[in-house]
Structure 1
Amino acid sequence: MIRVGAALLVCVVLAGCNSVSSEGPLAGAIDGDAGQSGAELGRKNVAVFDVVDINSRTARFVSDYVSSALNRRFGIGGPVGRVVIGVGDSLKVTIFEAGADGLFSTAQSKQVSLDIIVQPDGTAAIPYAGTVKFAGKTLEQARQAILAALASKAVEPDVIVTSMGTSSRTVTVSGAVGRPSLVPLDLTGEKITQVIAKAGGPVTQPYETYVTLVRGNRTGTVLLKSIIEHPTEDIYVQPGDQIFLVRDPRTFTLLGAVKGDGRLEFGANDLNLLEAVALGHGAVDEAANAQGFFLFRYEEPEIVQNLLGAARFQELERKGMVADSKGRYPIVYKFDMSHPDSLIVGQTFPIKSRDVIYVSRHPSVDIRKFLTLVGAPLNIASQGAATAANLGQ
């Protein structure tokens, strides 16, 4: 009977071990899966990623990186191109003549001003010059065309062509702006922030307003805050561009051994790792693994390649690491908060929208859970063994 009681005790212990619930992976599990393919892990459709230990150097590199979503990634930046006249534009053509007996001069005036609108076929009629092609020409080219047409008719003519309205040069600005409208462009070229200002400006804070630029079949989206802080992103717009402003508060997800997990809003212009954890009321002292703070992110390819190195990056691609729809790669940043300088490093590491911060639990937590779960069954088993021993006497 004693052997039966001992066997019962072993069964209860094993059952208790299997019943320990899981609250996400331990730090060792994350480190162990890093850089492993599905074949190596014995699982199908595995998301291949790597873990990067964050120190002062890597934190500074990630913080200093400037993403050029419009100017570089989509290749639609650069200065304004050649400004030309278009269909529907309003022009003032002023013609001067040297003599009082000219076609356009009188005793009182040696000039005449004509208001014209470029017609759908790109032309407009000028007296004595006939039909003149304006569309596709600069103001100077239009001036020369009129002069050439009047050369043998007017008395030493001279011409000035002035733009009065640029109906062909408009940009659509809509969404979270003060006055959604068609914004006319001037001849010197205007940037994104300038046309947004013409449309009444943004109605929400720059740190939660996204700007989408549509040009032909290309689209680029960037945070308005980034355009303001990085002038290279404030690119010149072109006629026919569409600009949409959308309020989309930046959020991150906080999980694991924290006092308040969930999806949280930034609520500020910037947010670092320490501030993000603080928004969840900090880690649970008796449960959190100070050496296992992780940040999961789809990161810019330039950052990933720099942190991992070309050889490691190519190896992970061969193993199945793939980019998301925006060309970013999965990466996991690891923070060891047991070191004093982690409080400095954590202040310099920026949080991005849609980041997932996971605070892993300490391995001792599972041991405590196990002991709690099997404590009561062990007492029952001990009582059963004692009863069996008494019966055997």
Structure 2
Amino acid sequence: MICAVLAGCQAVPGEGPLTADIKADAGQSPVQIGRIDAAVFDIVKVDNRTAKLVSDYVVTALNRRFGIGGGAGRAVIGVGDQLKISIFEAGADGLFSTSDSKQTNLDVVVQQDGTAAIPYVGTVRFVGKTLEEARQAILTALKSRAVEPDVIVTSVNTASRKVTVSGAVGNSSQVPLGLVGDKITDVIANAGGPTGQPYETYITLVRGRKTGTALLSSVIDHPNENIYVQPGDQIFVARDPRTFTLLGAVKGNARVNFGASDLNLLEAVALGGGGNDAAIDAKGYFLFRYEEPDVVMSLLGTQRFNELLGKGMKPDRVGRYPIVYSFDMTHPDSLLVGQTFPVKNRDVIYASRHKAVDLGKFLTLIGTPLGIASQGAGVAYSVERIGN
């Protein structure tokens, strides 16, 4: 009888999967699940190690991808740069001096082949040289031609040393880089600054074939994330109020705004009013996320990661992989661990209902008809007695 009741529970309408259902599908291929279109994922338990690994990665996304380097690097001349070259001579009647002036100023633009022409010197290669190296090259060529020459090379317009900043900033523009080097916040400030709050503003840096995205508040709070930009980088600033979705056996199913610079798992659940005491499975809190591949491999190990790829695990359009974090609220330390596990934009937090809820529904469904039948039998019996 009990087995029949439990089997019947499977046919009861429910609000999402049970804890056992989610765990049963984890790590299974679509064939094993019996659905050819099923997404392949794995479950990771949220504990101290998991929370620290995920938290550390969130605050070092740009540094991991691009590296902060050893500083600004060498500021070199590039194609399109405009230079002012001042040539001095000791004599009054030299190649570049007269009785009125002992200097000549030349404005040159570095051509596509990386060179520019200097009178009485010829073609000089500038690309890849610092201003001092360019100065020495011109000076060396003039020593046998001019009278005690000296040279000053000044950068007027650094067309090759610019970063494009666009999006939610005061003035989308190409920002020239200084000789001492500029960081992300420097070039954003030079473009008029962000138009939104740091905790809802995302920065995407494109460098060659690499792309990295980080929250502006994370860049501000963690100096290692405020990396040096390089000539040709593209920075896109987007205002996107961060939200997460809360579903399942909670007091309020909704899409919720962060409303703060950061949010942990416990705070996110509390924003939805907490779990429904009459229905919640305290062992069945799950956070569904598409996670960075580095994090997934660190959590699962390379062997398990490759195994899941073989079963059909697919990345999203930006290369992140599906992962489900499991959180057990029956453990006392969950109130500590939950404070250190960061919630990210577009996360889905699902609180599973307890299996007893389905059992109660099933008993209600089968009990209601029986009650009606019993009442009907009683009425028939009474009528029979009155008739007699």
| TM-score strictly above 0.5 | yes
Hey, what does 1:118 align to over in structure 2? 109
Q: 1:103 aligns with which of 95, 102, 109?
A: 95
Give the count of matched residue pairs. Answer: 379
Letter in 1 for 2:331: H
Q: How does 1:192-231 map to 2 (within 5 A)?
A: 192-231=184-223
1:354 partnered with 2:346: yes
| Native 8 Å contact 1:86 1:118 kept in 2 | no
Q: How does 1:277-316 map to 2 (within 5 A)?
A: 277-316=269-308
Shifted more, 310-319 versus 202-211: the winner is 310-319
Shift of 1:67: 5.9
- Describe the superposition over 1:82-130 as per-residue Cα deviations: whole angstroms up to 9, x where unpaired: 4332344332322232334433345665x31414131645555544445
Shift of 1:61: 3.1
| Native 8 Å contact 1:293 1:360 kept in 2 | yes
| Native 8 Å contact 1:116 1:124 kept in 2 | no
Shift of 1:48: 2.0
Q: 1:33 aligns with which of 25, 32, 46?
A: 25
Q: 1:164 aligns with which of 156, 161, 165?
A: 156
**In 1, Cα distance between the equivalents of 2:203 and 2:367?**
58
Hey, what does 1:3 align to over in structure 2? none
**In 1, Cα distance between the equivalents of 2:144 and 2:33?**
87
| Native 8 Å contact 2:9 2:358 kept in 1 | no
**In 2, Cα distance between the equivalents of 1:123 and 1:49?**
56
- Describe the superposition over 1:325-351 as per-residue Cα deviations: whole angstroms up to 9, x where unpaired: 333322221222123322222111111
- Scaled by the length of structure 2, what TM-score is found? 0.85
Shifted more, 129-138 versus 36-45: the winner is 129-138
- Describe the superposition over 1:184-224 as per-residue Cα deviations: whole angstroms up to 9, x where unpaired: 11223222221111111111122211112233454333222
Instruction: Give % identity.
Output: 67
Hey, what does 1:86 align to over in structure 2? 78
- Secondary structure in 1 aligned to 2:166? strand
**In 2, Cα distance between the equivalents of 1:113 and 1:27?**
81
Consecutive unaligned residues in structure 1, runs of 5 or more: 1-12
- Scaled by the length of structure 1, what TM-score is found? 0.84
Shift of 1:140: 2.6
Q: 2:331 aligns with which of 339, 344, 365?
A: 339
| Native 8 Å contact 1:90 1:115 kept in 2 | no
| Native 8 Å contact 1:255 1:261 kept in 2 | yes
Shift of 1:255: 0.1
Q: CA RMSD in A?
A: 3.1
Letter in 1 for 2:107: I
| Native 8 Å contact 1:102 1:155 kept in 2 | yes
Going from structure 1 to structure 2, the CA distance change for 1:384 and 1:281 (only over 3 Å counts) comes to: same
- Describe the superposition over 1:233-257 as per-residue Cα deviations: whole angstroms up to 9, x where unpaired: 3333233322211111111110001
Going from structure 1 to structure 2, the CA distance change for 1:369 and 1:147 (only over 3 Å counts) comes to: same
Q: How does 1:178-197 map to 2 (within 5 A)?
A: 178-197=170-189
- Secondary structure in 2 aligned to 1:36? coil
Going from structure 1 to structure 2, the CA distance change for 1:28 and 1:175 (only over 3 Å counts) comes to: same
1:241 partnered with 2:233: yes
**In 2, Cα distance between the equivalents of 1:136 and 1:51?**
51
Going from structure 1 to structure 2, the CA distance change for 1:248 and 1:186 (only over 3 Å counts) comes to: same
